[in-house]
Amino acid sequence: MSHPIPSEFDIVFAGGRLAAYDPSLRILILEAVPTSTTVTFNIGNPSPRLNGRAPIVPCGRCVGWRLMFMVYTRPPASDYDDWETNGWESESLIPLMKKLETYEVQPDLPTHGYDGPIKVSSGGCKVGICDEFIQAVANFWLMYKRYIDGTTGRRSDAAHHYVYNQAHNSNLQVWDGKLVKRIIFKDKRAVGVEFTSDPVSCPDADRSSSIVRASKLVVVSAGAFGSPTILERSGIGAEAILKRCGIEQLVNLPGVGENYQDHNLAIVPYLAADNVVTMDALWRGESILQESLAQWNSSGKSLIAQKLVQVITAVASIQKIKWRPDDEELKAMDPAFQPRWKEFFQDRPDKPVAIFTSFAGPSDIVPLDFGYKKTREVFRRMASYRGEVAAGHPDFPEGSAAACREASGPVDLNAPDIVYTAEDDEAINQFHRDIVQTAWHSLGTCAMKPEADQGVVDARLDVYDMSIVPLNVGANTYSTALLIGERAAMIIAEELGINCI
């Protein structure tokens, strides 16, 4: 796509929220891909702890941050408090959470908002097998909602509600198909960026570079992988890395690109009764796809508007809805988990140890192993349960009581749990090391913490995407990404003397 190249904007990279605060600001957003969302995959290094596998790490490339599965979840308050950064405590952030959302699920809740740009609802269609999952966990369940407008049945994301909705503002421009090479500095002050055509989305475009200048501010917001690489290409980073790449160092900041974190994900398949409605027909592209799409275009309510997963978190206590082991379960877990339990979970009762998920259609291995056993007991009690797909489960020893098999129906709700031997536990452990993957929640590579602790930004940050998160959060990360964007917009507005109340 060909664009006129103005010589200067007020702000380069910043998002639509600032444009709403002050429409007179000349803002440029550079994006690598057009408006449609895509995902690329980076291959990690082989790890002996993953039986020599090199995990695949997905990297979203889209306008306004990719929204996977549209799952709406919030982290526990203690996750934000653990960041130990002034102005980023949960007490300070809850008002911003309320500000950015319209919560269509239940009225008059004190910690939710009802007139913000991002819509949250239960969607327009339910898959019965997901309700079975909820029923099977009985007294300790919570079905999360989704980022879907309850009226239109369409996803509610940052691109549509912070950028595209301001198409009338000619001062806000989005140039897609652009790859930022580096930041331009003058006396260590960012004054612009150098960019070229993105080789993936625009393979036939001219590769010559262009420079656009910013009179007020340059904001780097390119994700957990994009942000640190832009900084490093600009001469900001660890001396050894920059020297190896032939880049002159401008600022010695060893934390750039470090502190990478993600959630671990393990998926195991189960057999369902023949008459159960799942998403399989849509995924296979059968005739129901066109019928569902037509219904969705007409009313906003069909399988198309059904998010692909139902997420629950659970605890052993009836009053809680996030899974945390009770005393007996903790004793049964591998001792390798004990240091992590004491450091992160023991004194923070709002933190989940694991999130259990139903798809309709190292110490970190320990919760996965235990979670496998817990979720298997849930699925065994679902009305649609017809056994396990053995190829997608651990390879249990011959004759084991835990061996996977087909079934004619669910077990009784009061049936005893499967008893696992030491050999069974080893099979589960090896299974997870063979199949565990990342969960599309990459963060931390430009961490907001002291420089001595490999921090990259302080509380008045320049980077406002998931790369700044110093510690992971116990939830899908989209709500935190929106929150960071809202907080960053306020910080920038304050620095520019703009009223953002």
d(CA 74, CA 100): 13
d(CA 379, CA 268): 11
Long-range interactions of 327-334: CB distance < 8 A, separation 24+: 329/370, 332/370, 333/366, 333/367, 333/370, 334/363, 334/366, 334/369
Question: Please, what's the largest Cα pairwise distance for the chain?
Answer: 74
By CB atoms closer than 10 A (0-12, 13-18, 19+), residue 152 is middle
Lowest mean pLDDT among 201-210, 322-331, 455-464, 467-476: 455-464
* pTM over cut 0.85: no
Please enumerate in sequence order all residues whose Cβ is within 8 A of that of 342, keeping only pairs 6 or more positions apart, or say none. none
d(CA 447, CA 260): 9
By CB atoms closer than 10 A (0-12, 13-18, 19+), residue 413 is exposed
Q: b/e per residue, 289-320, with b = 16+ CB within 10 A?
A: eeebeebbeeebbbbbbbbbbbbbbbbeeeeb
> What's the confidence (pLDDT) of residue 361?
43
Q: Which domains does the chain carry?
A: 1-67+158-219 (3.50.50.60), 264-438 (no CATH)
Question: Which is higher by pLDDT, 197 or 307?
Answer: 197
Max avg pLDDT among 205-209, 276-280, 367-371, 420-424 = 420-424
* Residue 292 contacts residue 304 (beta carbons within 8 Å): yes
> What's the confidence (pLDDT) of residue 249?
93
Q: Please state at what angle helix 422-435 crosses helix 365-380, rounded to 10 degrees.
A: 110
Q: What is the DSSP letter of 341?
A: I
pLDDT tens-digit map of 420-432: 999 999 999 999 9
Question: Which is higher by pLDDT, 15 or 205?
Answer: 205
Strands 264-265 and 437-438: antiparallel
pLDDT tens-digit map of 142-191: 445 556 676 666 667 777 777 877 778 888 888 888 889 999 998 878 89
pLDDT tens-digit map of 88-129: 999 999 999 999 999 988 899 999 999 998 888 876 656 666
Q: Which of 70, 73, 69 is nearest to 143 (CA)?
A: 73
